[in-house]
């Protein structure tokens, strides 16, 4: 019996979890590869990360992705939403009465009952990829084809490890920032297409009230702010997730695309954003500083995808790149990319 191939997924976000899930459903692939995951942060989720209050673990806030959207005309995506519904991880999000919500025909939206990170954890768990199988605080700085036909991966702290196949799900610009990017990406057309992938930058603020309160500003789960130079959106997280005001209250505030673009080189805007948030949500003034979490999403939503939206590309030899930057922004984009990545693995292993 042939030894299993070592497959490295770079990033513990939705695309990697969906790749793992689809491998587990494929009998040939499941028996052909061992999955390893490197994640540069300290937790699972990527842009689907969920934060918790340090004082009340039941007080949650999704600082990145806010909800899932299903295109009803694309039936191939339905099984993914079905499994989430069956496991009580999502619930329908009613948006028809929300002012400013840009509704689209034949699209349904879902709130993540236990936070967006639970979606990523679910697909990893279904693939039997445990938290212990993921190396956290592990930043990849170099990916190199080895003379043996394998791939050497260099990390900032853990050193060098060797794999048979590598799939990067990091944001596309970070591929171009690898130490050996010019060696890794020698095809000029590919390099140009990679450089043309664009993301928005957003700053997010999580406000943890820890107790159940009612906000005078709004009762809507999602709130869109018009004609403001700084803020674009804020949510009442407990209402969004459960449809009820009961339970500890938390709020997430997002800046506009324009504000993010203007401050792309600034890392910490917490004081300014908190002051702005208080002007919209006066109750936030009573929240202590350690109950306010600020996060900068340098690569938030995909604005311009890789040419042709292939879902996954072969960078060189047994090194691939996937993620919604190669499809379209959002959960369905991650699904499409994951399916293409799995097809690429099958082809690489001649299965």
Report which of 339, 344, 346 is spatially closest to residue 74, judged by C-alpha positions: 339
**pLDDT value, residue 306:** 98
**pLDDT value, residue 2:** 73
**pLDDT value, residue 1:** 52
Name the average pLDDT for the chain: 95
Q: Is residue 148 scored above 90 in pLDDT?
A: no
Report pLDDT digits (tens) over 20-36: 999 999 999 999 999 99
Cα(167)–Cα(172) distance, integer angstroms: 12
Cα(288)–Cα(239) distance, integer angstroms: 22
Q: Is residue 346 scored above 80 in pLDDT?
A: yes
Report pLDDT digits (tens) over 48-69: 999 999 999 999 999 999 999 9
Q: Is residue 295 scored above 60 in pLDDT?
A: yes
Range of lowest pLDDT (125-134, 204-213, 306-315): 125-134
Catalogue the long-range contacts made by 74-79 (C-beta closer than 8 Å, 24 or more residues apart).
74/332, 77/332, 77/335
Cα(64)–Cα(297) distance, integer angstroms: 8
Report pLDDT digits (tens) over 197-249: 999 999 999 999 999 999 998 999 999 999 999 999 999 999 999 999 889 99
**pLDDT value, residue 229:** 92
Cα(242)–Cα(122) distance, integer angstroms: 18
Which residues touch 9 (CB under 8 Å, ≥6 apart)? Answer: 16, 19, 20, 35, 36, 37, 38, 167, 169
Cα(188)–Cα(194) distance, integer angstroms: 10
Report pLDDT digits (tens) over 241-283: 999 988 999 999 999 999 999 999 998 899 999 999 999 999 9
**pLDDT value, residue 168:** 98
**pLDDT value, residue 37:** 98
Residue 135 host element (H or E): strand 134-135
For residue 196, give the DSSP letter: T
Interval 293-312 mean pLDDT? 97
Cα(301)–Cα(337) distance, integer angstroms: 15
Q: Is residue 323 scored above 70 in pLDDT?
A: yes
**Token reading at 236:** 């009442």
Cα(245)–Cα(265) distance, integer angstroms: 37
Q: Is residue 76 scored above 90 in pLDDT?
A: yes
Cα(45)–Cα(120) distance, integer angstroms: 6
Report which of 300, 191, 315, 208 is spatially closest to residue 254, judged by C-alpha positions: 300
For residue 263, give the DSSP letter: T
Report which of 218, 219, 297 is spatially closest to residue 255, judged by C-alpha positions: 297
**Token reading at 136:** 């956290």
Report which of 216, 243, 220 is spatially closest to residue 91, judged by C-alpha positions: 243
Instruction: Report the share of the chain in percent with pLDDT over 70.
Output: 100
| pTM for the model | 0.95
**Token reading at 256:** 């506009």
Domains of the chain: 5-198+303-348 (3.50.50.60), 201-300 (3.90.660.10)
Report which of 56, 47, 48, 42 is spatially closest to residue 84, judged by C-alpha positions: 48
Helix, coil or strand: residue 254: strand
């Amino acid at each position: 019996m042939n030894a299993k191939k070592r497959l490295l997924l770079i990033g513990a976000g939705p695309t990697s979890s969906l790749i793992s899930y689809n491998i587990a459903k494929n009998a040939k692939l499941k028996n052909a590869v061992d999955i390893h995951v490197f994640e540069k942060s300290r937790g699972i989720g990527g842009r689907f990360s969920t934060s918790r209050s340090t004082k009340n673990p039941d007080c949650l806030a999704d600082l990145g992705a806010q909800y899932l959207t299903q295109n009803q005309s694309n039936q191939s995506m339905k099984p993914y939403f079905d499994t989430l519904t069956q496991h009580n991880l999502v619930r329908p999000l009613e948006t028809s009465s929300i002012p400013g919500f840009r509704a689209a025909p034949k699209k349904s939206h879902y709130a993540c009952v236990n936070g967006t990170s639970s979606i990523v954890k679910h697909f990893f768990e279904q693939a039997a990829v445990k938290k212990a199988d993921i190396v956290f605080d592990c930043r990849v700085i170099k990916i190199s084809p080895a003379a043996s036909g394998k791939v050497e991966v260099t990390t900032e702290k853990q050193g060098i490890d060797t794999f048979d196949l590598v799939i990067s799900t990091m944001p596309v610009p970070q591929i171009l920032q690898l130490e050996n990017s010019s060696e890794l990406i020698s095809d000029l057309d590919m390099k140009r297409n990679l450089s043309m992938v664009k993301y928005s930058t957003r700053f997010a603020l999580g406000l943890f009230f820890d107790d159940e309160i009612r906000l005078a500003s709004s009762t809507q789960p999602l709130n869109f702010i018009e004609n403001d130079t700084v803020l674009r959106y804020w949510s009442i997280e407990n209402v969004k997730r459960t449809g009820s005001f009961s339970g500890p209250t938390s709020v997430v505030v997002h800046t506009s695309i324009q504000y993010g673009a203007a401050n792309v080189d600034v890392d910490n805007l917490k004081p300014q954003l908190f002051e702005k948030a208080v002007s919209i949500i006066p109750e936030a003034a009573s929240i202590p500083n350690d109950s306010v979490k600020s996060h900068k999403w340098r690569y938030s939503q995909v604005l311009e995808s890789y040419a042709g939206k292939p879902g996954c590309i072969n960078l060189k030899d047994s090194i691939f790149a996937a993620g919604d930057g190669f499809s379209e922004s959002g959960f369905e984009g991650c699904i499409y990319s994951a399916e293409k990545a799995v097809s690429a693995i099958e082809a690489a292993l001649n299965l």
